């Protein structure tokens, strides 16, 4: 796929959705951080249902530490891996209080030192809240990029590096959200909805063989 084709893909994404953003519901950088930690191997919808109640009671590091791991689990037990996530969230809150004045840090190294925060989660925070031109490669973006020909990588990091290299600066900030939404609702795993796709003529996937 050449630069002209890639540019056209993101031109169409922008035309269809000029201001893309996460589907997680949050008001502060801390709420976004907790939501993203919870979203690993879970849907945004399930996370939003849990945090709607949780954030009414505890939406700061101090309040979540005061809530405690046992009570925290009661709010998030509808989400997959909630036991380990509760432990990580408590640890993360303690570090934020002790090392960052209860503020979410605006740099990758500090973010990745937090429990439950890897490169993907850090990229989401940096992009969505702080406006950095990062791309968080989740399962949707990894599948989508390899399938349509935007990038060909065996690991999320390989795909991230390739995407960052080939996507034009004017599109790079919003690319993360466009790709996730496209992968979540159109270019889905088992039966991609090619007839509904706005970039199907630019895609390397043999969509003509896919039923509507």
- Which residues 6+ apart lie within 8 Å of 142 measured at CB? 153, 156, 159
In the residue annotation, 201 being an active-site residue is answered as no
Structure tokens at 201: 């003529």
Give dist(CA 85, CA 73) in Å, integer. 9
Q: Which of 44, 52, 106, 138 is catalytic?
A: 138
Give dist(CA 32, CA 128) in Å, integer. 9
For tokens 């969505």, the residue is: 128
In the residue annotation, 165 being an active-site residue is answered as no
Residues counted in the chain: 212
Cβ atoms of 115 and 92 closer than 8 Å: yes
Q: What is the largest CA-CA distance in the chain?
A: 56
Structure tokens at 135: 């791309």
Q: Which of 85, 120, 174, 200 is catalytic?
A: 120
Give dist(CA 157, CA 208) in Å, integer. 30
Give dist(CA 112, CA 196) in Å, integer. 38
Q: Which residues are catalytic?
A: 120, 138
């Amino acid at each position: 796929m050449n630069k002209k084709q890639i540019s056209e893909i993101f031109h169409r994404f922008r035309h269809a959705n000029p201001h893309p953003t996460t589907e997680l519901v949050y008001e502060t950088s801390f709420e976004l951080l907790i939501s993203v930690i919870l979203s690993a191997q879970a849907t945004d919808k399930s996370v939003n249902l849990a945090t709607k109640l949780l954030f009414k009671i505890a939406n700061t590091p101090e309040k979540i530490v005061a809530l405690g791991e046992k009570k925290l689990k009661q709010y998030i037990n509808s989400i997959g891996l909630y036991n380990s996530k509760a432990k990580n969230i408590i640890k993360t809150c303690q570090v934020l209080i002790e090392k960052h004045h209860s503020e979410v840090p605006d740099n990758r190294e500090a973010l990745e030192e937090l429990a439950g925060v890897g490169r993907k989660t850090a990229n989401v925070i940096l992009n969505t809240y702080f406006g950095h031109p990062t791309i968080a490669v989740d399962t949707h973006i990894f599948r989508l990029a390899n399938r349509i020909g935007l990038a060909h990588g065996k690991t999320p990091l390989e795909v991230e590096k390739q995407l960052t290299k080939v996507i034009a600066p004017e599109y790079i900030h919003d690319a993360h959200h466009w790709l996730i939404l496209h992968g979540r609702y159109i270019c889905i795993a088992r039966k991609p909805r090619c007839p509904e796709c706005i970039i199907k003529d630019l895609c390397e996937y043999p969509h003509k063989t896919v039923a509507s």
